[in-house]
Chains A and B, each alone.
Chain A
Amino acid sequence: MSVINNKKIKISYFPGCTLKTTAKNLEISAIESAKKLGIEMVELSKWNCCGVVASLTSDDLMKHLAPVRNLIRVQEMQKNKLVDEGENRLLTLCSMCFNTLKLSNKRIHENNEDLISLNNFMYLEEDYEGEVEVIHFFELIKEIGFEKVKEQAKTTLKDLKIAPYYGCMLLRPKEVGLDDAESPNIMENFIESIGGTAIEWEAKSRCCGSYHTVNNKHIVINLAKSIIENARKNGAETIITTCPLCAFNLDSRQKDIIEEFPDFVPMPIFYFSQLMALALGVEEKYFGFDDNYIDPKKILEEKGLLSN
């Protein structure tokens, strides 16, 4: 394993439901990429649903049980020495898990009475001490340093024009966002670190329609189409995302967009981690390209980034 500055990181990792089902390609490519950067992602033991979507009413404490229970598990990981000593952070890949866990953590930080009520409710669990920090994978890369990712890269994604799609949950609300809500640049820096070209576009944080994809899919069809067309208008050849719901809406829903708009030209959608794995020289079997709906290989082959 190549290690940057000999610094290894062993950290608790929260996968969430979708990374074990329709977004296996996000998880597998991220775990293998992390290894190349000296990060060992140790899956949280006995994790449960993150509690998605973040509950927004004042009297709904019950809905914060699921996220807080996961935070207790992080304490256990520390006590059982499964992660680095003093490593109190919980690493997430899915934007929605990141947002939900962080919002719940914030609420109980600000309302000690809520923390006491939740701890009392989970009588047989150890108390949550409020010391866990929820972070996203991008924040860990930023901490290691984008220039170091660049040094480790085996392949440069030169000439690949990539639209960084933040969506909602990485940026909003501001108190949990990992970057400026209106003009973020963390994904652009990431794209540059793997040698790609980040395009500037208007729809980078426009909502994809989220869960309306379940019973109101025409909303998602319209929004996803507008996002993809905006990316193309600005010169993008592909869009990257970190969110399994955005990925479904932008990638898989292109099937529905094409049915409704036969002239629509499809665009491949990647998880950021798939392109990172490619750049870092991870074995191809960990890219998980078979789980992408629109063929992701074609563009990479055209650019000479993938052997046929």
Chain B
Amino acid sequence: MPKKLKFDYKGSEFLDKIVKLSGEIITLCDQCGTCSAGCPFVEEMDITPSQIMRKVLIGDMEVMDSQTMWICASCFTCTVRCPRKLDVSKVSEALRQVKLRQAVDKMDISDISAEEAKRLPVIGLVSSFRKLTG
């Protein structure tokens, strides 16, 4: 049985929000899968980058529960390869920001052991706080 998609007002509003926040015209995505094929993190993800694009496009807000946007580290591999010149890194960032702006952090500083904190480079700590906390 084919799954029926219902594109309601809320979904359309969500797509609009992500398009504005990322600056990417997500509706241009052809679903060619180049982003997913080249992503160095894809094995760690629950859904692929191209699935993220599709879910946002159809206004499926369940995409917010996926771990993919948190695994994306903005390495820009997909960005330089997209034949439609879309920047999936920016879409991931927009999704992360929507979540983080609810004052929900994705990491807890107390989870880092004292031994690791001493060893980790400052740039790693600053980057992870910037990407994973609001």
Taken together as a complex, chains A and B put the C-alpha atoms of A258 and B2 apart, in Å, by 48
Chief secondary structure at chain B's binding surface: helix
Give which listed residue, A23, A49, A181, A207, contacts B73 with CB less than 8 A: A207
Cross-chain contact A94 with B123 (CB below 8 angstroms): yes
Chain A contacts with B in 251-266, Cβ cutoff 8 A: 252
A219–B130 CA distance with the chains assembled, in angstroms: 19
Chain B, residues 41-75, CB within 8 Å of chain A (1/0): the string is 10010000000000000000000000000010111
A45 to B6 alpha-carbon distance, docked (Å):
57
User: Residue on B with the closest CB to A226?
Assistant: B40
Complex Cα spacing A179 to B51, Å: 30
Is A109 among interface residues, defined by CB-CB distance under 8 A? Answer: no
Given A57-B93, A58-B20, A245:B124 Cβ within 8 A: yes
Interface residues of A (CB under 8 A from B): 16-18, 21-23, 49, 52-60, 94, 96, 168, 171-174, 181-182, 205-207, 209-216, 219, 223, 244-245, 247-248, 252
**Within 8 Å CB of B25, what residues of A?**
none
Q: With A58-B21, A58-B22, A214-B128 in contact, is A207–B123 under 8 Å at CB?
A: no
The 8 A CB mask of B98-118 against A (1 = contact, 0 = none) is: 000000000100011000100
A57 touches B94 (CB 8 A): yes
From A23, A49, A53, B74 is in contact (CB under 8 Å) with A53
- Nearest 9 pairs between A and B by C-beta? A172-B76, A211-B127, A207-B75, A56-B93, A211-B128, A214-B128, A210-B73, A18-B123, A17-B122
76-99 of chain B: CB within 8 A of chain A: 76-77, 79-80, 87, 89-90, 93-94, 97
Q: Are A214 and B112 in contact (CB under 8 A)?
A: yes
Q: How far is the CB of A19 from chain B (nearest CB, A)?
A: 9
State in angstroms the CA–CA spacing of A94 and B126 once bound together. 14
Task: Tell me whether B120 is interfacial, beta carbon within 8 Å.
Answer: yes
* B76 & A53 in contact (Cβ 8 Å cutoff): no
A53 — nearest CB in chain B belongs to which residue?
A: B127
Tell me if B4 counts as interface (CB < 8 A to partner A). Answer: no
Chain B proximity of A221: nearest CB distance (Å): 12
B114 to A: closest C-beta gap in Å: 14
Q: Which residue of A lies closest to B94 (CB)?
A: A57
In the complex the two chains form, what is the Cα distance from A215 to B117 in whole Å?
A: 11
Q: Which residues of A have CB within 8 Å of B89?
A: 56, 173
> How close is A171's CB to chain B, nearest CB, in angstroms?
8
Distance in Å: Cβ of A38 to nearest Cβ of chain B: 29
Query: Would you call A21 and B87 a contact (CB within 8 A)?
Result: no
B132 at the interface (CB under 8 A from A): yes
CB atoms of A219 and B41 under 8 A apart:
yes
